[in-house]
Amino acid sequence: MKNPVVFLLQFIAWLMLIAVVAATWAGVTYPNGRAKAYSNEFSKIHPMCIHRVLIDDRYEASVNLEICHAEYKKHPITLEKIRSTLGEKTLVRVSATTESQDGGEWIIAYSFAEDDADQSGPFLINLFTRSPDEVELSSLAGVSHDNTDNTLTAHFLEGTGDRCQGGYVQLMGMASRQEIALSQASTLYALLNPLDQLLKRKGTAVRTSFPEWEAGDVISDAPTACVGRLIGVYDHVSKSTTVNAVAVDYDALLRQSRNSTEACIADAIVRANGDGSFQSGSYAVYELDHWNNVLGYVHQRCGINHTFNPINRGI
């Protein structure tokens, strides 16, 4: 059986994600059970209520929306439609701005696929926060809305340590009945070492902010220097992630080289044999096997006698 994400990527190439994974929600369940069908009224839920049910432990993963909305009635929400980073999927983004006690601004937002507005089962969203100190975090989440008692319930939250400012985790749909396909902005370090980078599944990094990074590191893992995206799946049953493809923005890759090692790696990636990759917007998308060949070429040109050897921790 063909890997579900390989199948999904072929749709990106052939159909630019139009109607990919449409109507695949039926029968999807999460550990907390099923929920009733949704209408497009979901976009009226205040982002701060979404944030509260997912982040604030005091509410034990459930809030009454009538009470929560009354609390935030003086904080208007902004509704907009955006295009997905890969492909041409339309997303609905709902955002709000609030002030912290010390006068700084919090921006809270969530987004979901426009064509999933009438799905059944728990609702998949991307949660985004920007704190007063301008740290940006994004994550994959599942919530449900009980229309009977107007209660919002959290099912899961993954990836609150996303590294890339302005990149964000982004849903692509359901790859199977238990696997959620997604892409996530990636630093050069993560492109060279993609294992355990998707949703930061390694160790305690999953629920932290930016993992340690020093400006003097040979290969950049800075949240302001993102040059591609990791594409893969999150299995909500086993709570595991798998990287299935890598997308590279050649222009960003070449422009953001800070030292001779990064410049060598960028040049090697661009010059590597492009067979097996395809273009999606500004990104060249490589299936995992072909990306492994690219890393081999990078190592051959740039790894010998250098401090950092991408193959040592790569695919």
- pLDDT tens by residue, 244-272: 999 999 999 999 888 888 999 999 999 88
pLDDT computed for residue 34 by the predictor: 34
pLDDT beyond 80 at 134: no
pLDDT beyond 70 at 129: yes
pLDDT computed for residue 202 by the predictor: 54
136-146: strand order across its sheet: 62-64, 151-158, 136-146, 123-130, 105-113, 90-99, 77-83
pLDDT beyond 70 at 132: yes
229 Cβ neighbours under 8 A, 6+ residues apart: 85, 86, 167, 183, 184, 185, 186, 246, 247, 283
pLDDT computed for residue 163 by the predictor: 61
pLDDT computed for residue 307 by the predictor: 59
- Residue-wise pLDDT tens digits, 289-301: 899 889 888 888 8
Distance in angstroms (rounded) separating the CA atoms of residues 78 and 123: 20
In this predicted structure, which of 28-32, 103-107, 155-159, 283-287 has the lowest mean pLDDT?
28-32
**Between 37 and 44, where is the model more confident?**
44
Q: Please report the sign of the dihedral spanned by the C-alpha atoms of residue 138, residue 141, residue 147, residue 152.
A: negative
pLDDT beyond 80 at 194: yes
pLDDT computed for residue 314 by the predictor: 61
169-174: strand order across its sheet: 169-174, 179-187, 226-235, 240-248, 283-287, 277-280
pLDDT beyond 60 at 68: yes
Give me the amino acid identity at 111.
Answer: S
Residue 266, H or E segment: helix 260-271
pLDDT computed for residue 304 by the predictor: 62
pLDDT computed for residue 240 by the predictor: 84
pLDDT beyond 50 at 169: yes
Q: Considering only CA atoms, which of 228, 191, 201, 213 is closest in space to residue 313?
A: 191
Q: In the chain, what percentage of residues exceed pLDDT 70?
A: 74
Q: With a threshold of 0.75, does the pTM exceed it? A: yes
Residue 26, H or E segment: none
Rounded to an integer, the average pLDDT of 178-200 is: 85
- What residue segments make up the domains of the chain, in order of their start? 4-18+37-313
Residue 53 Cα distances to 48, 91, 109, 205, 278, angstroms: 9, 22, 13, 21, 40
